[in-house]
Structure formats: structure tokens, C-alpha cells
Amino acid sequence: MTREPLRSRELGGADPLDTQLGLPQQTLRQRLHLERFLPLLQRRPALGLRPGISPAIVLVPIGFLLGPQAANVLSIDVLGHLQVGVSIGLALLGIFIGRALAREAGNLRVIAAGNVESAATIVIVALALWFLITQSQVPTGADAVLIALCLAVTAAASSGHTADPRSDPAARLATRVADFDDLLLIAVGAILLVFIRAGYGTVSPALIVAPIGIGLFVALAGLLLFEHSEGESERGLLVLGAVALLGGASAYLMTSSLAAGLVAGVVWTRVPGRADEIVAREAQKLQHPLVALILVTAGAFFVPHAAVLWLLVPYVLFRLVGKIIGAVGAAAVLPGIRPFELAGYLVPPGVIGVGFSLTFMFALPSEAGRIVVSVAAAGTLLSEVLGMFLIPPAPPAEEPAVADAPGATA
Amino acid sequence: MRRPVALLIVLGLAWGVINLDAPQGAPLRATGLALGVALIAAYLAGVLLERLKLPKVTGYLLFGLVCGPYLLNIINRPMARELQVFNGLAVALIAFIAGLEINVAHLRPRLASIAKLGAVTLAVMYVGLFAAFWLAWPWLPIAPDAPPALRAALAFLLTAVVASFSPTVTIAVVAESRSAGIYTETSLAIVILADLMLILMFTVAMEIVRWTGGGSSHQVGLLASASWEIIGSLAFGAMVGALFSMYLRSIGREVTLVLVGVCLLLSIAARALHFEPVLAALAAGLVVENVAPPEGQVLKRAVERGALPVLVIFFVAAGASLQVDALATIGLVALAIAVLRGALAWGGSHMGSRMSGQEAPVSGLLWMSLISQAGVTLGLTLIAAQEFPTWGVPFQTLMVALIAINQLIGPVLLRTALARAGEIGRMDEGAAPQH
Amino acid sequence: MSPSPGSRLTRETRLLLIIITLSVVVLVVLSRFRFPDDEPASTTAGATPLPLERLAARATYDELATIISELGRRVTPSVSVLRIEAAGEQRFVPAIRVRPDLLLAHVAGSSRILAIVGQNIPVDIAAYDDRRELVLVRVPSDPSAVVTLETGAQSAARPRYVAAMEGTPGGPALRPLFLGRTDRVPDDRYGEGLLVLGGVLVASPGSLIFGLDGSFVGICVIEDGYAAGVTGPSLAAAVAGMAGPPSR
């Protein structure tokens, strides 16, 4: 069985439709003779954008410009309706994390390394931000511990597509560590959401296991449906329906879509059959639009609040410290990798942290929610920029995103 | 057996989630749940109906109707409205697909005969309906005591609206059944032609009603308004289509994302600028297919394959928003009009086929594709009701009931006609490499 | 004979450019007739929703109730209610936490604050601005409940529903409020002027106005024959004048 590159977890290589269409005979870049400027920006190919910069760097500012603070094209009303897309997008990312986990379940060292690294980041960022909030008395609209924990969870994520697998063995290992550092944050995030809800009144204990229940039920329905579906259209519809159910049911109960998606992803991969393969192929078609939606929505929710300005730089710095200390811990578990090299690869946060901040935003009191999402979105943007300078450039190759796409060789 | 069990699991999960421990404001977050349930459960309902030799789209419609706010209320009003949010996007995508299906070079030799067929069919329907409404006016629950001039104007307006068809439903049924062939092409062309006529006739009829009713004429000229809606829509769509083609040719990245953006632009921006989204999206698809064929072909196949969820949601939302209560109040009159309309469509299409030299399957089956009515008709009815509330409200109730009947019958008839013409599934044959 | 790829590309690109140009020309010409007095875009501006807002399905009254209840969950922790006596009558006025240890309320100068509802602590008035009739009441510190006054005014930027929070003996109570006009009128007491809310009966004086997204819009005051809103930034400036700038 050929394994697809793990880096497809978050962004999935090229959009399948792009792959089918093939490359334009003469790209705009060639027509405008932009090649000479590309080495300045050609760090990592992602989301098919050229030059290859992280999607967060492009889409978060676009979201801000379209959002209520600027053009107001994405007004508060519209953003409220985009919540459905965000929860579905997070469920989709959860499925990809679950698939990666199920495939690498035997590799306990990598899983442990990823979780040691994210635990260190959560602890360091949470403590630092809690200290800063309580000392400064900066208004945050919710309990300082809660805000600090929410932000720490968003900070713990690292991007699975950071390291180009063609770079070197260290980069490949770092990619896998980054893939598994999301496990802990998904678990902590899911529990945190129950705590947030408990702040508004009593909650049913069943809510703690609700994401697992949702994930199992949808996974079971998927197993019954996917393999016996007829044709690509039908498979696409059923997979989209399953992902929408995962995200929709979680959003309805205000629990974690990522956790529900993760459970379903694990089940589909571990149970024998073709369900995993079908989900991977069909879900990839949804990935880019949903990732773009998450980033644009987060950017649109940004508010230049005093607390955001106060917490932003410490968030980025302590996240970096957390990643370095976490990388030292991870290197102890996983020999053969230099801690600082690993830390560099783990700096770009990707999409999951931002996505989680949106989940928190819809659950927290309004002001606190906007602060969390603003710090996470701006922090992600800054960390991605930081990552551009910390990660060695990918080896030159013509249009690598398309070449690496799983469907490209089909 | 697997599918019913899966259906039970999905419905059970939805029931469990709604009854577990939803926090305050949960109904506001019901969209994703409604979307997931509608996609899987409605699709399975459609498959079930297909076994009973009925079209899947009727299954989707009936699922929406039965689970919707008027009957079981599993998809409650907020959920139904949330599903409608996707409708604008769905209509644009469906019309865009129709544009991609129309190859002008292929159709050119038959354009004159199709135009003749359409003109005769519509003329028979217009004359027949107008005469019937004029004669039966005292018994129609709109404005029975209207003076003769206003009565004639209102009868004309009612004729224009009742004689309309639904290009969206027609295209959706064709796309869902993956039909292709001479009958499919002719039906699509006639329905689109009728849509152009509807806009023109409705504008003229409204202006006459304003004039005869003693109201002030609309500040914008009749010709200007109609030409903006027809020619402007086509120009706007062509421009968007050409820009999209250039993007495909020059950049060709993130096409899915850009396609969603194009459909948003065609549905929302077009509506904001008073264009007709169906025409605009159709023109965009036409340009992509006919000016940039290689990209158009790949895009067409990809969009067709990915369109099924959009079609399912479109029909579920339509079913959930069918106002069956209107049927209860005014059902008999609406049923009589529906029968008359069907009969005129049958007579008109037969006469038109004879005069334009159409042969089977078009001559015998065309009327079956002229029954569906949906969003465009409803939208025009709403415009009339808002401007003339005194007679507009009973007018709207009558039309809503008529649309409900035609929406339920139309897709079944069209699917049956496509099956009899032997064109179901032939879209895939056309998609196979031909060289 | 088939043309070479290069020439085909050029021809098709040229055709696309012609289509774009022709479409623009047609649209410009038609718009002159369709919108004779003004620009096409401006005919849909004003009170018409922004294009993308058409995506947002309109809420019914039932949904409005749900939205208000959801909003209450999110903003009530930041609000306390003051029991006051004015002209021999008791009234209840909401007070919003603007600093960890300070509540802000709009209370007429002739009134007396009797108690903070639900809190068994003496009333400690930190400052009173008689020109603006604003009072700051000192309470035990709770940084988590502070509301930032500077944001949210755009929630009332055009006619729309907002929520008015009023004081009751049981605590703060929210109700929907439709803002029909949102003009600003100049007022020398407030840098941003006052926001016209409607007639005098629109909300009781001292009510807190929130956008449906939870952002703070302002405090309702009754001016000469109409209800007005003192916006967040104006209140922030007033609070800074009364209590000094916020400490970091």
C-alpha cells in the first residue's frame, strides 16, 4: 500500500480540480517574468498559491480587510452564518488528524514526542499569559485562567505541512511530530469547551464524551454507506454529509468538532475496508475551500482591542519558547533529531490553532471570544512569518504542489 | 439493508443531539446539523423512491416536505431558512452547469426550429391562459370586482406568471439524471427562452397594471428595466465567465475556491445589481464552454460530479419551504389552473412541434418538461404582492399553491420524459473521450 | 489544418478580452438608462443590506428571542443592577463594569443609590460627573467581567435590531430594540456626539445598549424629547476623566 505524504493532512497538496485541469501552458508568473523575485518568497508551497507562502499570511489579512473593522463585506451577520463552514472545516481537519494517528498508531515514540512538545507549549503559554493578564489587569471579559488556557491550546498547534518531505530526514521527522502534537490540544480543547459551558449553568456529564459519541455514530453510518456507494458523485455527497454531520452536531452542542472528526477518522482508518481511502479522496476536494474559510473568518473577527495588543507579542514569544523547550523534551523521547532544528520546524502553527480559537469564540462571552480569536489569528500570522525565516527553503522543483498531490499519479 | 440502518443512525444521532443538552442559542447553530441530515437522509430517501420508479429529486422534495416545518418539523423553520441560504449559490451553480452544457456550435443548425417551437408553444399558452382568466375572472379570488381595464391588465399579469417555467428545476433534474440528447437540449433551450420572455412579459404586465390601476408609472422606463435585466444579466455573466476563463488559462490554481467565489458573485452581486442570477450564471457557463473549450470540458465534468450535494440541498430546501397550507385554502382553484396550464403546454408543444418540424421524442414529450415552477415565479409573485398589497396578497396565495402543485408534479413528469426519450445517463457517454 | 497551440492561445485570449470589453461597454450604456440619476451601485446602497448580507437568512421573532437569550448569557456577567431612589420613587438602573473594580451607570443628579441588587456590600461611590450624570461605583475587583467601551459602535451603524439591558429587582433584563434612525447629533459633553435612538419611550434612561453580536454600543439617555445613546468611546473618555486613565 502506498502511503500518501503526511503533509497532506492540513492542506492536502494541490486542489484536485487544479490537478485535473493541469497547469496553464504559460502561467501569469511567466508572462510577467516574476521568476527573478521568487527566491525571496519561495519558502513553502501551500494552498497552491504562488509564490509559495503559507495561506495564513495571505488569507488572515484578507479576512481582516473584508471584515467588520474594515470593508464590512463580511459583516457580523454574515460571519455568524459562516460558523457552519468553520465547524465543518474543523471536523474535516479532525478526520485527517485521526487518519494520521491511526496509521502511525504503532509508532509510540513519535506520538509521545508530539505530545511532550505540545504539553510544554500549553503549560508555558498558559502560565505566561495568565501571569500577564492578572498582573496587568487588562480587561479580557472572562476569567484569566480560561483565557490563558484557550490561548495556550491555540498556541500548541504546529503545522503538519511545514517541512517539505524532500528536504532532509530531520524535516520528515519534524513533520510527523507536528502531526501528532495536535492530539493533546484536541483533548484539552474539548474538555475546556465543557468547562466554558459549565460557566453558564449545569451541564450534562454526557457532554464530555459527546464528541466521541458523535464521531462513533457518524463513523458507523459512514462505514455502512461509503463502500457500497455507486459512483464518484454519490461518494462525494455521502462524505460531505458525514463531515457536515460531525461539524454540525458538535456545533449544536458547542463541543469540539475536531475531536469528533478525529474519532471518526480513526475508526474509518482502523476498520478494514475502503472507507478510509474513499474519505481521503473525497474530503480532499473540500479541504482548500474550508481551510480558506477558517482563515478568512478568523481574520474578519480580529479586533484591535487593548488586550489583543497587550497579549499578542507575548503570545508569539512564549509560544516560541514553548516550542523550543518542547522540542528539547521531544528530542529526548525521539533520538536522532536536533532540538533546535525540530523547534524551527514546529514554529508555523498552520490552521488548527486558528480553527480552535473560532470554536472558543463562539462559546466564550463575546468580548473574551473576540480577544482569543484576534490573538490567535494575529499570532498565527506572525508565527508563520517567523517560520519563513526559520525553516530552510524547500529544494527547487517545478510546481511541487501538483507533483506531490496523491491524485497526480492516478 | 445497510442503507436503512445508516438512515436510522443518522436520524437517531440528530434526535439525540437535539435532545441531549443543547446550550442556549443552539437553534442558531443548527445549520450544519440540518445540512448533514438533509444530505444523507434526503439522498437515501431519493434512492428509496428510485426503486419505486420515481425520480430521486421527488424523494429529496418529499423528504424536505415531510420533515419540514409544515409536517414533521424535524427540519424546523430556522433550519429551513438556513438551508435556503445555500439556495442562491445552488441556483447560480445549476445555471452555470446549464451554460457549460450548451455548445453553440453544436446547437446552431437547430436554433431556428427551436425558436419557432418555443414561440408557438408560448403563444398558445399565453392566448389560452389569458382567455381563460378573462372569462373566469369573477370566480378567481384575486380582485373579482376590478373594472374591465384593470381586469384585463391583471389577467395579463397572471398569464405571464402562470405561463412561466422553472429553468433551475429543469436543469437540476437533467444534471441529477445525467441526461443528454436532443430532447434534453430542446427542453433546456425552450425553458431558458421562456425565462427571457417571462422577464419581458412580467415587466410589461406590471407597467400596464400600474397604468390601469391609476398608480404612478415606474420611474425607470419599461425598456430600460427589461433590457437591464435581460441584456445586462447576460453581459454581466459573460464578463464574469470570460474573467474566469482567463483565470483558468493564466493561473489555474485553487479552481474550486475560485469557482465558489464566481457562483457567489453571480448569485449575490447579480441580485444586488438587479440582474437575473439564472441568466447571468448561464451566460458565464456559455462563455467558459464555448470560448475556452479544453478547460470548459474538464471543468464541466468536475462540476457535474461535484454538483450532487448542491442539487440535493436545493430540492430539500424547496420541499421544506413548500407552503402546503396555501394548498388547503385555495387548492381547488390552483388545481384547476394547473390542469389548464398542463393542457395548454401539451397543446402548444404539439402545435409548435408540427409547425417547426420536430419529431419524436421532442414532439410527444416536450410538454412534460414545461410543468415545473419554482423560485423565479415565486420571486415575481412577491414583487407584485409587495407593490399592490390589496390584490397582490390573494394573487400570491394562489401562485404559491400553484407552484406547490407544479413543483411536486413537474420533476416526476420531466424525469419520466427523459427516461422515455432514452436520454438518462447519456451525459457520461458524452464525457468519454471522443477522439 | 489545426492551428499551433501558441496561435490558438492568442486567439482565444483575444476573444475573451473582446467579450470582457463588450460586456463592460454594454453594462455602462445600459446603466445610463436603467439608473438615469445616479450610479448603479448607489441605487442599492443606503438601507439596502450589503451584498453578502443577503446570505444571512432573516430571523423570525422566535429566533430573535433565541438570539437575545444567547446574548444574555454572554453579557450578563458584566452587568450589575443599582437600586436607586429618585423623586421619592424607587428605580433599577443597570451598571456596567468598566474597570475591574468600577461599575458605570447613568443616574440623574437628584437620585440616591440605595444598593447593588444581589450584593450585600455598602455602596461606595468612586466618582460622579454631574454634567453627564454618570456615576462610578466601587465594587470588589473582578477583571474577568470588564467590558471594553471603545469597540462596538459600528453595531449601530445603520437601522437594525440591538438589545437594551434594563435593571429589574431580579437582576439585568434584556429585550430587543429596533433602531430606526442612527444619526449622530453633536453634543459638547461628548466628543463623539449622541446617537439618536428614537422617541423617549424606546428604552428607559440608563439602559445599556448592546449589538446582537455582544459588543457594547452605549448607554441610553433621554434628551429633549428623544432617546439618545452615549457611545462607548465617549463613555471611555468620561470614565478616564472621572477615575484617571486605566492602569496597566
pLDDT of residue C246: 60
Label the pairing between strands C184-187 and C171-179.
unpaired
Mean pLDDT, chain B, rounded, equals 81
| C-alpha cell read off for B70 | 409544515
CB A307 within 8 A of CB A138: yes
When comparing pLDDT for A77 and A273, which is higher? A273
Chains near C with 3+ CB pairs less than 8 A apart are: A, B
Confidence of residue A396 (pLDDT cuts 50, 70, 90): low
For B59-92, letters b (16+ CB in 10 Å) and e give bbbbbbbebbbbeeebbbbbbbbbbbbbbbbbbb
| C-alpha cell read off for B334 | 390552483
- In Å, how far is B322's CA from the nearest CA of chain C? 17
When comparing pLDDT for A202 and C130, which is higher? C130
What does each C-alpha distance from A178 to A183, A288, A343, B247 come to in angstroms? 10, 20, 10, 35
Confidence of residue C63 (pLDDT cuts 50, 70, 90): low
d(CA A151, CA A356): 9
C144–A141 C-beta distance less than 8 A:
yes
Please, which residues bridge with residue C219 across strands?
Answer: C208, C230
For B331-365, letters b (16+ CB in 10 Å) and e give bebbeebbebbbebbbebbbebbeebebeebbbbb
Nearest to A253 among B22, B24, B295 (CB): B22
Region C74-79 average pLDDT = 82
pLDDT of residue A262: 94
Helix ranges restricted to H, B163-276? 167-177, 182-212, 222-227, 233-250, 255-264, 270-272
pLDDT of residue A380: 92
pLDDT of residue A364: 82
d(CA B72, CA B69): 7
CB B374 within 8 A of CB B403: yes
Largest CA distance in chain B: 66
CB B420 within 8 A of CB B350: no
When comparing pLDDT for C202 and B384, which is higher? B384
Instruction: Using CA coordinates, name the residue in chain B closest to C43.
Output: B273
Q: Is the pLDDT of residue C51 over 60?
A: no
pLDDT of residue A41: 44
pLDDT of residue B125: 93
Nearest to C20 among B223, B228, B239 (CB): B239
Of A309, A312, A215, A303, residue with least CA distance to A255: A215
- In Å, how far is C1's CA from the nearest CA of chain B? 16
Using an 8 Å CB-CB cutoff, list chain B residues near A80.
Answer: 28
Find the range with the poorest average confidence among A224-228, A310-314, B252-256, C11-15.
B252-256
A221–B40 C-beta distance less than 8 A:
yes
Q: Among residues 255-284 of chain A, which lie with CB inside 8 Å of chain C?
A: none
C190-198: strand order across its sheet: C171-179, C160-168, C208-211, C216-222, C227-231, C190-198, C184-187
CB C208 within 8 A of CB C184: no
A248–B255 C-beta distance less than 8 A:
no
Q: Is the pLDDT of residue B128 over 80?
A: yes
| Percent of chain C residues past pLDDT 70, beyond the cut | 75
pLDDT of residue A29: 55
Confidence of residue C159 (pLDDT cuts 50, 70, 90): low
CB atoms within 10 A of CB C124: 13
- In Å, how far is B342's CA from the nearest CA of chain A? 33
CB A327 within 8 A of CB A268: no
Region C93-118 average pLDDT = 86
Q: Give the best-scoring range by mean pLDDT among A27-41, A65-79, A271-285.
A: A271-285
Q: Give the best-scoring range by mean pLDDT among A73-87, A377-391, B265-279, B370-384.
A: A377-391
Task: Considering only CA atoms, give the Rg of chain C.
Answer: 26
d(CA B336, CA B342): 10
Instruction: Using CA coordinates, name the residue in chain A closest to C74.
Output: A365
Q: Any chain B CB within 8 A of the CB of A87?
A: yes
B26–A17 C-beta distance less than 8 A:
no
Nearest to C34 among B28, B88, B220 (CB): B220
Q: Is the pLDDT of residue C241 over 80?
A: yes
| C-alpha cell read off for A76 | 457580523
Of A55, A57, A41, residue with least CA distance to A89: A55
Region B316-337 average pLDDT = 78
Q: Number of A:B CB contacts under 8 A?
A: 190
pLDDT by residue (tens digit) across C203-217? 788 889 888 777 788
Using an 8 Å CB-CB cutoff, list chain A residues near C151.
Answer: 303, 305, 370
Using an 8 Å CB-CB cutoff, list chain A residues near C44.
Answer: none
When comparing pLDDT for B317 and C154, which is higher? B317
Q: Any chain C CB within 8 A of the CB of B285?
A: no
Confidence of residue A139 (pLDDT cuts 50, 70, 90): confident
CB C95 within 8 A of CB C82: yes
CB A221 within 8 A of CB B10: yes
Using an 8 Å CB-CB cutoff, list chain C residues near A71.
Answer: none
pLDDT of residue A152: 95
Of B198, B240, B204, residue with least CA distance to B378: B198
Q: Among residues 174-233 of chain B, which lie with CB inside 8 Å of chain A?
A: none
Which of B291, B295, B297, B313 should we substitute to test contact with C (largest number of C Cβ atoms within 10 Å)?
B291
pLDDT of residue A394: 56
Of A210, A215, A267, residue with least CA distance to A243: A215
| C-alpha cell read off for B303 | 462540476
For A75-111, letters b (16+ CB in 10 Å) and e give bbbbbbbbbbbbbbbbbbbbbbbbbbbbbbeeeeebb
Of B379, B377, B389, B375, residue with least CA distance to B341: B377
Q: Any chain A CB within 8 A of the CB of C58?
A: no
Region A245-253 average pLDDT = 90
CB A404 within 8 A of CB A46: no
| Percent of chain A residues past pLDDT 90, beyond the cut | 31
pLDDT of residue B348: 92
Confidence of residue A26 (pLDDT cuts 50, 70, 90): low
Of A252, C26, A228, C87, residue with least CA distance to B26: A252
Instruction: Using CA coordinates, name the residue in chain C closest to B80.
Output: C57
CB B424 within 8 A of CB B418: yes
Containing H/E element for C196? Answer: strand C190-198
pLDDT by residue (tens digit) across B159-185? 988 988 888 788 888 877 888 888 988
3-state secondary structure of A296: helix
Q: Any chain B CB within 8 A of the CB of A210?
A: yes
d(CA C158, CA C148): 21
Mean pLDDT, chain A, rounded, equals 79
C19–B238 C-beta distance less than 8 A:
yes
B88–C54 C-beta distance less than 8 A:
yes
B235–C27 C-beta distance less than 8 A:
yes
pLDDT of residue C164: 87
Q: Give the best-scoring range by mean pLDDT among A73-77, B284-288, C84-88, C177-181.
A: B284-288
pLDDT of residue A61: 93
Confidence of residue B344 (pLDDT cuts 50, 70, 90): very high
B151 burial (CB, 10 Å; 0-12 / 13-18 / 19+) is buried
pLDDT of residue A357: 92
Q: Among residues 366-385 of chain A, which lie with CB inside 8 Å of chain C?
A: 366-370
Nearest to A224 among B2, B260, B309 (CB): B2
pLDDT of residue C22: 92
Q: Any chain A CB within 8 A of the CB of C41?
A: no
Q: Among residues 26-65 of chain A, which lie with CB inside 8 Å of chain C?
A: 26
φ/ψ of B226, rounded to 5, equals -65, -40
d(CA B406, CA B335): 9
Q: Any chain B CB within 8 A of the CB of C67?
A: yes
pLDDT by residue (tens digit) across B16-26? 887 776 665 55
C214–A367 C-beta distance less than 8 A:
yes
Q: Number of A:C CB contacts under 8 A?
A: 92
- In Å, how far is C84's CA from the nearest CA of chain A? 27
The counts of H helices and E strands in chain C are: 3, 13
- In Å, how far is A74's CA from the nearest CA of chain C? 7
Confidence of residue A196 (pLDDT cuts 50, 70, 90): confident
pLDDT of residue C73: 74
Q: Is the pLDDT of residue A51 over 60?
A: no
pLDDT of residue B99: 81
What does each C-alpha distance from C42 to B269, C46, C156 come to in angstroms? 13, 8, 21
Angle between helix A231-253 and helix B308-320 axes, rounded to 10 deg: 60
Using an 8 Å CB-CB cutoff, list chain A residues near C56.
Answer: 75, 77-78, 80-81
pLDDT by residue (tens digit) across B185-229? 889 888 888 877 887 788 788 878 877 765 555 555 667 777 888
Helix ranges restricted to H, B357-374? 362-365
- In Å, how far is C165's CA from the nearest CA of chain B? 18
Q: Is the pLDDT of residue A219 over 90?
A: yes
Which of B31, B267, B300, B305 should we substitute to test contact with A (largest number of A Cβ atoms within 10 Å)?
B31
When comparing pLDDT for A251 and A104, which is higher? A251
Distance of CA A89 to the CA centre of its chain: 9
Using an 8 Å CB-CB cutoff, list chain A residues near B36.
Answer: 241-249
